[in-house]
């Protein structure tokens, strides 16, 4: 069985969040199950690629409106990641350092999808199934069925994974001109309320779609940034498959990013050593409990609640807890967080930016990770936290609800609070501090969390089963 994962991100080549982690791991675990699973992604001007790029396998040309683009398909050197990676390089469009945020993003991702299908058609490299990830690749199921140039791919099954339904890739209808020529009578499949909506097109046209947790699937039927009706009407082909974590990358026993490696047997010593170093680096007293947040500064992550929550923490638990924040994103949220740091000066460290190495050090050092998300399709931070013997404090939503079991329940692994409000966050923090003072219970819980299995083994097999069911329909 030959599968192509089509994605904008794939760790360690390019990652801005959970999508990168998933696409950097899932194909590897699928290959271990005996299928042939590869990734096709845009080429970025990234250090990892400069070091590991292999040969060029194809060159071609696409027309976008009246602009012609040359493109090439490059392959990662064999054996670097445990699966094949093909990179689409389009000088003038897909040749930049960053993944997102360009004014011509619409043209970039249409060209990406167009070029990769052109290459696959020209080289007879058709897979048994296309697996598309998020809206950046959401036009593929429509293109292969309705574009005149891709007739050779018609009828190939497609799976669409919704990693985040908040972002849908909306573009106005003028952009249809940038697409490869398609049967105009089928244009309605691209449309959602008079706008081209690639995520909606993916849900309409794919053979099956899934979200990255069952909890999130249920929530999308009620609230999906305008697509709830579509998710309900296409419910029969919808699945929930929880993400896993890549044990090769996220393992405190051999993580090269952390100072002291540790296992469940020596977790107290290991975590303490890492915590000492991290606290020293950021001027925090390591004897106090450490509460951390890692993530995008976005409303959906509840990051706007951080500044008022920290203010409240400093009033209610003054000098009893340290807070560490690593993140970037919304500039208003960023300046509120900087402001609170400036006002408090003590018991707080803020690192604005994206730092993969530091994120590992925080998971290994911190006592608690807080996630006040309003929307959380799966959430990986809580899984990494547990793997590193850290206690997650999470809002009861999406994948957090599916993976974190509160202290008052059987087999607990964390602290769950109900609403994305400062009040509920504070009640979570209060319970965390009580737990911290009960070192026997805290250490039992840490040890238990390190032994939980959130590996990809189960979920990779669920995807393979889904592929097989779809292929069997042919
Ligand atoms: P998202 O919605 O952002 O994809 P996930 O929980 O699915 O959220 O995945 C977040 C991933 O991004 C995790 O691997 C987390 O450690 C990482 N991450 C988020 N922000 C940062 C940051 N500022 N620096 C380093 N890693 C980060």
Q: Could you report the per-residue pLDDT of 299-344, keeping only the tens digit for each?
A: 999 999 999 999 999 999 999 999 999 999 999 999 999 999 999 9
Residues 212, 375 contacting (CB under 8 angstroms): no
CA of 412 from ligand 1 middle (Å) equals 24
Distance, in Å, from the CA atom of 186 to the CA atom of 188, rounded to the nearest integer, reads 5
SS3 at position 278: helix
pLDDT in tens, 436-446: 999 999 999 99
Residues 291, 429 contacting (CB under 8 angstroms): yes
**Which pLDDT score is estimated for 175?**
98
Long-range contacts, stretch 233-237, CB < 8 angstroms, 24+ apart? 234/203, 234/204, 234/209, 237/206, 237/207, 237/208, 237/209
**Which pLDDT score is estimated for 252?**
98
Q: Which residues pair with 370 in a beta bridge?
A: 393
Arithmetic mean of pLDDT, 239-248? 97
pTM of the model: 0.97
Residue nearest to atom 19 of ligand 1 (CA): 295
**Which pLDDT score is estimated for 349?**
98
**Which pLDDT score is estimated for 22?**
98
CA of 21 from ligand 1 middle (Å) equals 9
CA of 213 from ligand 1 middle (Å) equals 17
Arithmetic mean of pLDDT, 211-222? 98
The four Cα atoms 279, 285, 290, 296 give a dihedral, to 10 degrees, of -50
CA of 363 from ligand 1 middle (Å) equals 12
Q: Given the structure tokens 């900087």, which residue do they identify?
A: 338
pLDDT in tens, 70-108: 999 999 999 999 999 999 999 999 999 999 999 999 999
- Among 242, 250, 294, which residue has the most ligand 1 atoms within 8 Å of its CB, making it the best to mutate? 294
Quick one: which of 403, 445, 451, 25 has its CA closest to 216?
403
Arithmetic mean of pLDDT, 377-400? 98
- Among 359, 399, 459, which residue has the most ligand 1 atoms within 8 Å of its CB, making it the best to mutate? 359
Residues 159, 130 contacting (CB under 8 angstroms): yes
Which runs of consecutive H residues, i.e. helices, occur in 317-451? Answer: 331-344, 356-365, 381-387, 398-403, 422-437, 439-451
Helices (H) and strands (E) in the chain — how many of each? 16, 15
**Which pLDDT score is estimated for 217?**
98
193 to 139, 145, 170, 190, 417: CA distances (angstroms): 17, 22, 10, 10, 36
- Kindly list the strands in the beta sheet with 415-417, ordered across the sheet, starting from the edge strand earlier in the chain: 348-352, 322-329, 290-297, 368-371, 391-395, 415-417
pLDDT in tens, 149-195: 999 999 999 999 999 999 999 999 999 999 999 999 999 999 999 99
């Amino acid at each position: 069985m030959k599968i192509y994962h089509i994605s904008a991100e794939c760790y360690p080549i390019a990652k801005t969040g959970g999508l990168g982690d998933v696409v950097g791991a899932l194909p590897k675990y699928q290959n271990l199950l005996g299928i042939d699973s590869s990734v096709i992604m845009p080429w970025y001007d990234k250090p990892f690629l400069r070091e590991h790029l292999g040969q060029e396998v194809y060159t071609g040309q696409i027309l976008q409106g009246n602009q012609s683009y040359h493109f090439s398909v490059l392959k990662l050197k064999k054996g670097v990641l445990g699966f094949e990676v093909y990179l689409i390089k389009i000088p003038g469009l897909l040749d930049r350092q960053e993944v997102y945020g360009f004014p011509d993003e619409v043209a970039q991702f249409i060209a990406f999808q167009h070029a990769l299908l052109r290459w696959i058609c020209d080289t007879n490299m058709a897979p048994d199934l296309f697996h598309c990830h998020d809206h950046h690749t959401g036009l593929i199921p429509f293109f292969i069925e309705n574009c005149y140039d891709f007739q050779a791919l018609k009828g190939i099954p497609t799976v669409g994974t919704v990693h985040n339904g908040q972002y849908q890739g909306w573009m106005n209808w003028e952009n249809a001109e940038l697409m490869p020529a398609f049967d105009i009578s089928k244009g309605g499949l691209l449309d959602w309320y008079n706008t081209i909506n690639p995520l909606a097109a993916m849900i309409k046209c794919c053979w099956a779609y899934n979200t990255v947790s069952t909890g999130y699937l249920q929530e999308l039927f009620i609230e999906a940034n305008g697509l709830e009706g579509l998710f309900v009407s296409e419910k029969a082909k919808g699945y929930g498959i929880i993400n896993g974590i890549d044990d090769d990358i996220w393992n405190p026993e051999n993580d090269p990013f952390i100072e002291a490696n540790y296992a469940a047997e020596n977790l107290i010593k290991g975590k303490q050593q890492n915590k000492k170093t991290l606290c020293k680096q950021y001027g925090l007293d390591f004897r106090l409990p450490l509460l951390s947040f890692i993530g995008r500064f976005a409303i959906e992550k509840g990051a706007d609640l951080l500044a008022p929550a920290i203010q409240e923490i400093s009033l209610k638990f003054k000098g009893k807890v340290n807070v560490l924040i690593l993140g970037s994103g919304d500039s208003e949220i960023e300046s509120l967080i900087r402001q609170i740091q400036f006002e408090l000066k003590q018991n707080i460290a803020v690192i604005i930016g994206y730092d993969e190495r530091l994120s590992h050090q925080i998971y290994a050092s911190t006592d608690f990770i807080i996630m006040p998300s309003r929307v959380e399709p799966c959430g990986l931070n809580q899984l990494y936290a547990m793997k590193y013997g850290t206690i997650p404090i999470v809002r009861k939503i999406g994948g957090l609800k599916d993976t974190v079991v509160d202290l008052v329940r059987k087999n607990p692994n964390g602290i769950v609070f109900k609403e994305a409000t400062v009040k509920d966050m504070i009640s979570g923090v209060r319970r965390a501090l009580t737990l911290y003072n009960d070192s026997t219970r805290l250490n039992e819980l840490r040890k238990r969390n390190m032994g939980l299995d959130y590996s990809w083994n189960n979920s990779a097999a669920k995807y393979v089963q889904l592929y097989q069911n779809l292929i069997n329909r042919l």
